[in-house]
């Protein structure tokens, strides 16, 4: 026994960077909504970016750690505490055995990632740990975590003494970059962009779009003035991606998120750039966003830059973690 769910949250699932290679079978990639934050949690613990994390929403779960480990909380700020003492996001924390992680209130963002140094003892389904709720496969028994679930730890790093006699110890490094909540979401034009009327293009560029309540891991529905197309053409079903902005028959928009279908038949007027998906994933219903157009080259550069930053953080953290674990024979010292 290593970790136990004392109380489940709204939707707590195991996610990694997605299940790729199976979309031709209709099996969507899924994966963490906020790819950047789930990667940065792993990076801060020196782990592979694709290691599984627990993605939580608010109301958040209460988790009992039965065994010492190092954790890192990234993404949304749900004011995390350990044994009721406040801890910080974006900083690795050595925690003692029998400590309780819980979250007091939703301060910013929509989804929070819990990364644990010890990998949970789970089997991959089709090469990924991500939970596919439709297929009931992957992650923890193909479903959201619930009260009483126990996740055992796989690897055997000895983290005794790191927190000494205390409940936890903040480790002396943290992320320099975290997700920012900006209203402006950048996109590149989609293959059906040219279908929009001049008026529709103007409305799209100038509108503040409100994210509606029926938004979820599959997609965000947006509220704004209806966009018109030059002529009504039936589009044959075709591939989609995380971030695709689809135009519905009533002129409203939906942005596809992590659990989107693999194919669809609505016009793709644009695609949110990968580097800004993290910001969008942290938006809650009721938040407003505005789209701004960028060129593909910029989108590519931004993504590469974001990934390089994460890689640097991962390399540096890995070195620190290894040093920490090798010094562990000296009780309490690091």
Partner 1 sequence: MAYFHKMNLNELTISPLGDSAILLNFENKIDETLNRKVLRLFHELQKKSFPFVKDIVPAYSSLVIFYDLLIIKNKSPVNKTYLEIVTDQIKNILFEDIEISSLSSRKIKIPVCYSEKYALDINDISKEKKISVDEIIHLHTAKKYRVYMIGFLPGFAYMGEVDERIAMPRRAQPRTIVEAGSIGIAGRQTGIYPFDSPGGWQIIGKTPQKIFDKEKNDPVLLQLGDEIEFYSITEDELTNN
Binding site for partner 1 (CB under 8 A): 20-29, 125-126, 132, 134-137, 142, 188-191, 193-194, 233-244, 261-264, 268, 271-274, 295-297, 299-300, 303-304, 307
Closer Cβ to partner 1, 108 or 216, answer by number? 216
Smallest distance, partner 1 to C-beta of residue 188, A: 6
Cβ closest to partner 1, residue 98 vs residue 237: 237
3-state SS track over the chain:
CCEEEEECCCCCEEECCCCCCCHHHCCCCCCCCCHHHHHHHHHHCCCCCCCCEEEECCCCCEEEECCCEEEEEEEEECCEEECCEECCCCCCEEECCCEEEEECCCCEEEEEEEEECCCECCCCECCECCCECCCCECCECCECCCCCCEECECCCCCCCCCCCCCCEEECCCCCCCCCCCCCEEEEEECCCHHHECHHHHHHHHHCCEEECCCCCCCEEEEECCCCCECCCCCCCCEECCCCEEEECCCCCEEEECCCCCCEECCCEEEEECHHHHHHHHCCCCCCEEEEEECCHHHHHHHHHHHHHHHHHHHHHHHHHHHHHHHCCCCCCCC
Task: CB nearer to partner 1: give 25 or 156.
Answer: 25
Between residues 234 and 329, which has the closer beta carbon with respect to partner 1?
Answer: 234
* Nearest-approach distance from CB 195 to partner 1, in angstroms: 11
Minimum distance from CB of 128 to partner 1 (Å)? Answer: 12
- When the beta carbons of 177 and 295 are compared against partner 1, the nearer one is 295
User: Closest approach of Cβ 326 to partner 1, in Å?
Assistant: 30
Output the smallest distance, CB 165 to partner 1, in A: 43
Q: Which is nearer to partner 1, 106 or 218 (CB)?
A: 218
Query: What is the nearest approach in angstroms of partner 1 to the Cβ of residue 236?
Result: 5
């Amino acid at each position: 026994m290593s970790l136990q769910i004392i109380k489940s949250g709204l939707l707590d699932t195991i996610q990694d960077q997605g299940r790729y290679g199976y979309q031709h079978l209709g099996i969507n990639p899924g994966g963490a909504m906020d790819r950047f934050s789930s990667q940065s949690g792993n990076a801060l613990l020196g782990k592979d970016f694709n290691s599984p994390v627990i993605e939580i929403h608010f109301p958040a779960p209460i988790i009992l750690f039965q065994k010492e480990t190092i954790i890192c909380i990234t993404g949304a700020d749900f004011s995390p505490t350990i044994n009721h003492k406040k801890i910080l996001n974006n900083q690795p924390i050595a925690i003692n055995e029998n400590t309780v992680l819980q979250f007091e209130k939703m301060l910013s963002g929509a989804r929070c990632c819990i990364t644990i140094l010890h990998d949970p003892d789970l089997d991959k389904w089709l090469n990924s740990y991500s939970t596919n709720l439709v297929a009931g496969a992957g992650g923890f028994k193909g479903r959201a975590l619930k009260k009483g679930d126990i996740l055992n730890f796989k690897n055997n790093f000895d983290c005794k003494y790191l927190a000494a006699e205390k409940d936890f110890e903040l480790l002396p490094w943290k992320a320099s970059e975290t997700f920012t909540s900006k209203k402006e979401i950048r996109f590149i034009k989609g293959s059906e962009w040219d279908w929009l009327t001049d008026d529709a293009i103007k409305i799209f560029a100038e509108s503040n779009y409100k994210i509606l309540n029926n938004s979820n891991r599959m997609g965000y529905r947006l509220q704004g003035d209806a966009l018109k197309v030059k002529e009504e053409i039936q589009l044959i079903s075709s591939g989609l991606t995380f971030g695709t902005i689809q135009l519905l028959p009533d002129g409203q928009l939906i942005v596809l998120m992590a659990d989107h279908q693999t194919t669809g038949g609505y016009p793709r007027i644009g695609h949110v750039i990968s580097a800004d998906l993290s910001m969008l994933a942290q938006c809650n219903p009721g938040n407003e966003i505005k789209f701004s157009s960028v060129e593909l080259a910029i989108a590519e550069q931004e993504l590469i830059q974001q990934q390089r930053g994460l890689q640097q953080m991962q390399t540096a953290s890995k070195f620190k973690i290894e040093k920490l674990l090798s010094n562990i024979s000296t009780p309490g010292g690091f």
